[in-house]
Amino acid sequence: MSVQQLYPRLVVSDADAAIAFYTAAFGAELVERYTDGSGHVVHALLRAGDAVWAVKDGDEVDPAPTGPGAVILALYVDDPDAVATAILDGGGQVIFEVSDHPYGERGGRLADPFGHAWMVASRTGDLTAEEIQQRTAEAYP
């Protein structure tokens, strides 16, 4: 067996609105979009830099979430503050404010308008794994 690709597939209440949101907030490009006979999006693939994800309209089999669930999507960006602002401007909500963290990152967590949680961050330091572990353990005892 050879794994070819792994990407998240987000179920949303309005795929076309989600595509517009992710395009504006993350600078994503729509790679492909397919609908069923009634026009519901069954698959739309998006790309932003090296990140790839898909969205689809919720239905009876795959209902759209009503709030953040067990998965947090981590997105590394050049400017987490600007991306957080874009998420908020698009109707998202803050879960954790963007701030500097002792483990060498600046980031925060936000919920998009479709119920998915996104961690947006950038690396601010060049730390070893041991330094990250030590700083994390000290900051969050």
**One domain, residues 43 and 93:** no
**One domain, residues 18 and 40:** yes
| Average pLDDT of span 11-24 | 98
Give the β-pairing of 51-57 and 9-12: parallel
Residue 80 scores a pLDDT above 80: yes
Q: For residue 103, what is the DSSP state?
A: T
pTM, entire model: 0.88
What's the domain range around 23?
1-61
Contact by Cβ (8 Å): 19, 61: no
List, for residues 20-36, the tens digit of each pLDDT value: 999 999 999 999 999 99
Tally of structural domains, the chain: 2
Contact by Cβ (8 Å): 110, 87: yes
Residue 58 scores a pLDDT above 80: yes
